[in-house]
Amino acid sequence: MDLTVIWAFIIAFAVFAYVVMDGFDLGIGILFPAFAAGRERDRAMNSIAPVWDGNETWLVLGGGGLFAAFPLAYAVILPATYPLIIAMLLGLVFRGVAFEYRWRDPGHQKFWDMAFTGGSFVAALAQGMTLGALLQGIEVVDRAYAGSWWDWLTPYTLLTGLGTVAGYALLGASWLIWKLDGEEQAHARKLAIRWGAATIVLMGAVSLYNIALKPEYAARWLTAPEIYWVAPVPIVTAIVALSMLRAILKDRNSKPFWLGIALFFLGMSGLGVTIWPNVVPPGVTIWDAAAPERSQIFMLVGVALTMPLIIGYTAWAYWVFRGKVADEGYH
């Protein structure tokens, strides 16, 4: 049993869980200016109030797992993306503070609403650009980052950043379709159609850009026999995307959200196929970056104990607060 591969999938799962769970929280922040001040904004916030801070647990697990299981990758990726990581963390701080203070400081609610939107947008954009910076390749010499402070800023990373913003907004709108009713739900459907279309277009643009980005990426997707293994990914992605738009238009409640999650899963699967087995393209594989085997075994025991607990209390929180959102919130 290859422990390095197991750890790669554990971290990929943690990242996916974070992207999905905190993604719709950030998406609601991105959409916040489109909501009417007062009841609509309050209900949108109330829909995520019981779960938003717990969703960030997966960010800690993903980042901590990368540091522990793939220390070389952590040591290379962080210096290459410091400005983006700092921007993301500051955005998350502003989002969290604004979430609490807009209720406790009603005299400055407009300011806190702006902070909520700004923090959510910056965090989402920084996450997408970090992904783009990783995919476009990081210069490594003697097992250390050898690039400049601005290598992360390219047209490709801006495209992946905007794609992430659009995807999070789609998840946020589809979550509100599920959790709201009446006029607010109808408004969320309109937003979901717009951001769903934008997400599909940007996913397609990133996919095409990937093929042109590096010859090895093109070879992975366009040459035999690899093409026979990877061809189902774009085909199933197109089917899921069309099904999601149809579910939004057909007044389904939860189905658009689950199909949006499936769309993210397929997108992340495609990116995984593109760079595998590298953890830092173009030349650092998961085995190059892995911690010693004994360290991996020790940490795996901890994950085996804690991950079921995290999944359990997360599922319980969502179960307790299932159903439509009322006007009153936990505050």
Residue 239 tokens, joined: 């089917």
Q: What is the pLDDT of residue 39?
A: 85
Residue 308 tokens, joined: 């079921």
Between CA 255 and CA 263 the distance in angstroms is: 12
Q: What is the pLDDT of residue 329?
A: 57
Euclidean distance between the first and the last CA atom of the chain, given in angstroms as a whole number: 49
Between CA 306 and CA 128 the distance in angstroms is: 28
CB-neighbour burial class of residue 327 (10 A; exposed 0-12, middle 13-18, buried 19+): exposed
User: Which of 88, 86, 95, 91 lies closest to 29 in space, CA to CA?
Assistant: 95
Q: Please report where in the chains the tokens 């769309």 appear, as a residue.
A: 263
Between CA 225 and CA 320 the distance in angstroms is: 48
Measure Cα distances from 291 to 14, 15, 140, 276 in Å.
Answer: 18, 19, 18, 18
Q: What is the pLDDT of residue 323?
A: 82
Q: What is the pLDDT of residue 143?
A: 85
205 C-beta neighbours (distance < 10 Å), count: 14
**Bridge partners, 58 (sequence order):** none
Ordered mean pLDDT values, 10 residues apiece, the chain (331 residues): 90 91 92 89 87 82 88 93 94 89 84 93 96 92 88 94 96 94 91 95 93 88 86 93 94 91 93 90 90 92 91 89 72 54
0.95 surpassed by pTM: no
For 206-233, b where at least 16 C-beta lie within 10 A, e where not — what string?
bbebbeebbeebeebbeeeeeeeeeeeb
